[in-house]
Amino acid sequence: MSLPPLYPLPFAPFLRPMPWGGSRLAAWIRPETVPESPIGEAWLLSDHPLHVSLVSGGPLEGVSLRQLLATRSVELLGAHADRFPLLIKLLDARENLSIQVHPDDDDARAWAPSEGGKTESWLVLEAAPEAVIYLGLKPGIDAAAVAQALKSGDLPACLVQHRPQAGDCYFVPAGSIHALGGGLVVLEVQQTSDATFRLHDWGRLDPEGKPRPLHPEAALAVLKEAPERLGLQPRAALGPESELLIECQHYAKRHHALTSPLRVQAPSILVGLNGTGLVRHPAGNTQVEPGQAVLLPACLRTAELVPDGQWAVVEVVPRQPARLTR
């Protein structure tokens, strides 16, 4: 039996309640999809066991990303891969997230072998005036000082505090100590991993009145005291309506504020922010709604982004598919 040809593939968001979550994602996703209960994360594209995204339109509607990757990875990514390399989320931080560290690929083999490394970046969509991003160690603070601060309860004072504004992009390489502060909504692009080692959770209790587990041994083992390129990233113009936000070994992330059509290369993931637009290709046209991810398979080679008026869209280009073999 022949398989339907691939086309620009839209995916349905998965909403994940979190103890620090809020109610602001309704402004970034179609409101009818967001419940009134606090939501911390919307997973827009995922091949992680906690949630595997489903195609939400076209002939392949209802097919999972996992199924597509298992049978058509070369068409999707241009190479064989046993896991989709990136996970894309919207985060609504009503409260501070825990102070935490993610391992890199090498450290994950020892501390989170089923997960893998986790380098990530944040595009700030909303920032309250008092919002803070805790990212990186202050000068003179090393791993030994972090271990001592854990005992004294002074860990937050060890971290650099950034004052983010909407439109800022922060790079969080694996091994960075960090916490997203309350009052922020961000678009997060990360490696496909949920390896998170918490050091401090601000005294927060779960619904049963118990603190969440901490992982000091693992966090200190994978901590990098001075990761390269950590922090706020300079923006680089790519054209009259396009900017490069970040480029690292795992992906490139670009922001387009479109009023006219733009041709982009495949493979890539397109995430709608403000406004709507169309991904146009002879294999099929796909409407992109706010808060929706559309995967442009490698086999399509290129597609045209056509705005409906003004359209803000983020383009994410995978660089190294996870566990890829040619």
Looking at residue 224, its pLDDT comes to 98
CA 92 to chain CA mean position, Å: 12
Looking at residue 32, its pLDDT comes to 67
Q: Which two tokens stand for residue 185?
A: 């909504």
Looking at residue 324, its pLDDT comes to 37
* Distance separating alpha carbons of residues 97 and 60, to the nearest angstrom: 36
Helix (H, G, I), strand (E, B) or coil at 28: coil
User: Which residues fall within 8 angstroms of residue 38, CB to CB, at 6 or more apart?
Assistant: 17, 18, 21, 22, 23, 94
User: What would the 3-class secondary structure string for 89-150 be?
Assistant: EEEEECCCCCEEECCCHHHHHHHCCCCCCCCEEEEEEEECCCCCEEEEECCCCCHHHHHHHH
Q: Where are the beta strands (DSSP E) in 94-154?
A: 99-101, 120-127, 133-137
User: Which residues fall within 8 angstroms of residue 153, CB to CB, at 6 or more apart?
Assistant: none
Q: What does residue 109 show for φ and ψ, rounded to 5 degrees? A: -60, -30
Query: What letters, b where the CB count within 10 A reaches 16 and e where it falls short, cover 235-264?
Result: eeeeeebbbbbbbbebbbbbbbbbeeebeb
Domain ranges of the chain: 9-229, 236-325
Helix (H, G, I), strand (E, B) or coil at 158: helix
Looking at residue 206, its pLDDT comes to 80
* Distance separating alpha carbons of residues 281 and 230, to the nearest angstrom: 37
Does 326 participate in catalysis according to the annotation? no
Query: What letters, b where the CB count within 10 A reaches 16 and e where it falls short, cover 155-188?
Result: beebbbebebeeebbbbbbbbbbbbbbbbbbbbb
Q: Which two tokens stand for residue 118?
A: 């986790």
First to last CA, the chain: 26
Contact 316, 77 (CB under 8 A): no
The CATH code of domain 236-325 reads: 2.60.120.10
Contact 212, 110 (CB under 8 A): no
Count of all residues that appear for the chain in the document: 326
Write the DSSP symbol of residue 2: P
Looking at residue 175, its pLDDT comes to 98
Matching residue, tokens 């996992």: 66
Marked catalytic residue, from 24, 83, 198, 254: 198
Q: Which two tokens stand for residue 100?
A: 């935490």
Same fold, 9-229 and 236-325: yes
Q: Where are the beta strands (DSSP E) in 139-177?
A: 159-162, 169-172
Write the DSSP symbol of residue 232: E
Q: Which two tokens stand for residue 232?
A: 């706020």
Give the up-direction half-sphere exposure of residue 32: CA atoms within 13 A in the CB hemisphere.
2
Write the DSSP symbol of residue 114: T
- The tens-digit pLDDT sequence of the chain (326 residues) is 578 999 999 999 999 999 999 999 989 997 667 777 789 999 999 999 999 999 999 999 999 999 999 999 999 999 998 899 999 999 999 999 999 999 999 999 999 999 999 999 999 999 999 999 999 999 999 999 999 999 999 999 999 999 999 999 999 999 999 999 999 999 999 999 999 999 999 999 887 888 999 999 999 999 999 999 999 999 999 999 999 999 999 999 999 999 999 999 999 999 999 999 999 999 999 999 999 999 999 999 999 999 999 999 999 999 865 543 32
Looking at residue 115, its pLDDT comes to 95
Homologous superfamily assigned to 9-229: Jelly Rolls (2.60.120.10)
